[in-house]
Amino acid sequence: MRSTHLTDTSSTASKAKKLMSKYGIYFALLGLFLIMAFATPSFLKPANLFNVVRQSATIGIVAVGMTFVIITGGIDLSVGSIVAAASVVATSYATNNNISFPLWVAILLGILVGAAFGAFNGFFVAKMKVAPFIVTLATLTIARGFALIYTSGSAVFNLTSEFNEIGKNATPIIIFVCVILVGVFLLNFTKFGRHIFAVGGNEQTAIVSGVNVIWTKFSAYIIAGVCAAIAAIVLSARTETGQPASADGYELDAIAAVVIGGSSLSGGVGSVIGTVVGMLIIGIVTNGLELMNVSSYMQKIVKGAIILVAVLVDRKRAA
């Protein structure tokens, strides 16, 4: 009898552990939502909730691209600088000064800048086999330097109303949702997505199975660069300016969202939906702290603690 009782207890504990592993992130989001609702009544105002999602959209777009890179077992520290580089290029072709260009030209050139830096990262990581940390750390400096040189350190102002419309009302959220849908489709319903997981799970096995590892990794970094460029366009339109110093720290928020969302830094595990939930958690924490008048310095400490906890949970899950 005692043995049966112990077996039942062990089975229940195992089921509970699996349940928390699978849905824990959603419970955390709900719990955090309720805590903030009780801590500050203004949190539940529709305008504030809308603002949380809209503010989360920009970094969320970056985080979707980061998900692809992290699932392959890589990391991209350069996304914040890529946002700045793409921002100044796109906005320079969307001003009311001098020659007027169609909106699609500004958007296309911004995305091409993001793709180019992503390809740069992908080439050295996938083809030259340099550690992702080193490559993207170098690109972080290169892309930021490019943005500063391109504008001589000045911001790009006087943007066209057509460009600025991209950042108004619910448009950033709509763009975010579109990026999410494309990300989910690529990861979950395509051969390329299966290859992303295979490379991150076991690279040698992926090679034996016929997966083009170099191309898969290369493509993941391009996706991250393109997502950073899309975020740059949204951010620039919202602020109505192209800032070479913008998006500082975006890479940390994006990595935090991906890891909090259940992706493993070891690779092979992750989901776009999990990343979105992770981004919403960060957005709610940031918004709640602001409503409670917590200083921006303390907010950085809280975010750092969240990242540390997420990494520790990831290591425990992988053990």
Q: What confidence tens digit (pLDDT) does each residue in 72-86 have? A: 999 999 999 999 999
Look at the block and give the residue holding tokens 């809209």.
54
Which structural domains are found in the chain, ordered by start?
A: 24-31+45-318 (1.10.3470)
Indicate if the pLDDT at residue 241 is higher than 90: yes
pLDDT of residue 315 exceeding 90: no
Angstrom distances, CA of residue 272 to CA of 70, 170, 180, 286: 11, 21, 7, 21
- Model confidence pLDDT, tens digit, residues 269-285: 999 999 999 999 999 98
Residue showing tokens 């330097």: 145
In angstroms, what CA-CA distances link 93 with 58, 109, 151, 166, 232?
Answer: 21, 8, 12, 15, 14
pLDDT of res. 297: 83
pLDDT digits (tens, 9 = 90+) for 14-44: 666 666 667 778 888 898 899 899 988 899 9
Task: Report residue 312 as tokens.
Answer: 């520790």
The C-alpha atoms of residue 40 and residue 49 are separated, in whole angstroms, by: 13
**In this structure, what are the phi and psi dihedrals at residue 95, rounded to the nearest 5 degrees?**
-105, 165
Side chain identity at residue 293, one-letter code: N
The number of C-alpha atoms within 13 Å of 19 and in the hemisphere containing its C-beta is 7
Q: Count CB neighbours of 37 within 10 A.
A: 14
pLDDT class for 90, splitting at 50, 70, 90? very high
Lowest mean pLDDT among 21-30, 90-99, 126-135, 253-262: 21-30
Band the pLDDT of 13: cuts 50, 70, 90: low
Q: Note the pTM of the prediction, 2 decimals.
A: 0.92
Average pLDDT in the chain: 91
